[in-house]
Structure 1
Amino acid sequence: MHSAAVTTEGDQIRWAELPGEDPARVYVHGLGATSPLYFAETAVHPLLAGRRSLLIDLLGHGHSDRPTSFAYTLEDHADALAAALRAAQVAGAEVIAHSMGGAVAVVLAARHPELVSRLVLVDANLDPLTPERGAYGSRDIASYGEEEFLAGGWREVRDRAGADWWATMRLTGLEALHRSAVHLVRGTTPTMRKLLLDLPVPRTFLYPEPDGPFPGTEELEAAGVRVVAVPDCGHCIMLDNPEAFAHATAEALA
């Protein structure tokens, strides 16, 4: 386990690191998750092993610190991640990022282009969403005010999220979870989709085939983004179908 201070108060981002050749690969988890659990099997798969790999936890999540003074905007997450990568002497990384982590990775590539050479986005958030009580995920969390969420709304979210997600969500600071969800739903200006369209690096977007055609595929492909459907999986592609995910990721990075 490695760490780096990423705020003026000294808050630490932590990551599990596998030795190997450069350029490094950086794995970034989604909301309420942790990269070592979600990506360990992928990083050591025969098609992907042998590369220096950082399985990194965003601030407020997993093994990283959970400061209550941090705003947890997508830009804040991206800048904190950039600070950790610079401390790790990473440049030109291949970034594989899931869900909210994909949104953070797009912002990272836009704000700190020297750190990213290639993007593999895994069912990432590209567009603003509407908060909705009882909806699954960030929309549900963002439907609460922060005080309401901290006072007990998080228990309702826990019960709706289910045991699998709660197993890692419980490691996330409550302020971090709520603020990250609020800013993820709100998105960026310009949107994450627009930022992705304008990035100059090779980009691949993986999505679950059972969800049907990914919205906006034609525009993405026209901008050079490869859009790839992965079979037999849901949102957590790397956990639901790890073999197909490893093959799709390896192809994207070839």
Structure 2
Amino acid sequence: MLAGHRSLLVDLLGHGHGDRPEDFAHMLEAHADALAAVLNAASAEGAQLIAHSMGGAVAIVLAARHPRLVSRPVLVDADLDPLPPAPGAAGSSGIGSYTEEEFRAGGWAGVRDRAGAPWWATIRLTGRTALSRSAVGLVAGTVPTMRELLLGLSIPCGYLLPEAEAPLPVADALEAAGVAVLTVPGCGHTIMLDSPDGFARATATVLAAPDAP
């Protein structure tokens, strides 16, 4: 799928093996600008981005704010609209219902227990400050929303939807705007873990599609 391409694997600040600056805002715009700095430093203009969940929202904002840097986003079950805070829920909507102080003081443990080991394992390397502020960023969303920004992009884009979440309510609007929506069978939100082959095939389909005329 990526043979012959230069590949950069990027952890957002506070996530994975990325640095953990305590003075970083972690809003979607801040993540997008930090990723732009990485791509500029790597001379990676016109990058094809494969981005999952919140990373997909960051990719949309990046493409809107720094269009020179992005040629084709592949959005993997990306967040397209602000998340309503949901006290007592797992995931970003639950995390975003806490203040940062509440989350760091012990709210994180409640989210961990409600989410369960498989989901928590996917974010075990994420700093608690980054988790809290990034979730608040997803609850706030952007203005215009990520979905509106995506609809306004003039580059080829793909959206990979897990079968467990189909149908996508905004699929018709996305496809009318030229966004290819592909449903990946046999998977949930973590498409690349649940169905590696399906993820690879769908991503390859988006990357091989011709540019819009």
Q: Does the alignment reach a TM-score above 0.5?
A: yes
Give TM-score scaled by structure 2 length.
Answer: 0.94
CA contact (8 A) 2:89 2:111 kept: no
Q: Which of 158, 169, 172 does residue 123 from structure 2 map onto?
A: 169
Residue 185 of structure 2 is matched in structure 1 by 231
2:89 is equivalent to residue 131 of structure 1: no
- Per-residue deviation, 1:175: 1.0
CA-to-aligned-CA distance 1:92-112 (integer Å, 9 cap, x gap): 000010000000000000001
Q: 1:197 aligns with which of 148, 151, 173?
A: 151
Who is 2:135 aligned against? 181
The 5 Å alignment of 1:39-54 reads 47-54=1-8
Contact residue 62 and residue 168 of structure 1 kept, 8 A: no
Aligned to 1:112: 66
- 2:190 alignment partner AA: C
Distance 1:165 1:213 in 2: 23
Q: What residue is the counterpart of 1:221 in the other structure?
A: 175
TM-score by length of 1: 0.80
Shift of 1:128: 1.1
Distance in 2 separating the partners of 1:183 and 1:122? 19
Displaced runs of 4+ in structure 1, greater than 6 A?
none
Counterpart of 2:91, as a letter, is: G
Relative to its length, the structure with more strand (as a share) is 1
Are the aligned partners of 2:188 and 2:194 in contact in 1 as well (CA < 8 Å)?
yes
1:78 aligns with one of 12, 19, 32? 32
> How far does residue 83 in structure 1 lie from its aligned partner after superposition?
0.4
The equivalent residue for 1:99 is 53
Of the structure 1 ranges 174-183 and 162-171, higher mean CA displacement relative to structure 2 is found in 162-171
Within 2, Cα distance between the matches of 1:210 and 1:83?
Answer: 35
Letter in structure 2 aligned against 1:86: N
In 2, the alpha carbon distance for the partners of 1:164 and 1:209 equals 19
Rounded Cα–Cα distance in structure 2 between residues aligned with 1:209 and 1:77: 28
- Where do 5+ consecutive residues of structure 2 fail to align? 209-213
Match of residue 20 from structure 1: none
Number of aligned residue pairs: 208
* Structure 1: gaps (5+ residues): 1-46
Correspondence list, 1:10-25, <5 A:
none
Q: Identity of paired residues, percent?
A: 68
Structure 1 residue matching 2:10: 3-state secondary structure: strand
- How far apart in 2 are the matches of 1:211 and 1:59? 28
3-state SS of paired residue (1:245): helix
Partners of 1:250 and 1:212 in 2: how far apart?
20
| Contact 2:14-2:126 at 8 Å conserved across structures | yes
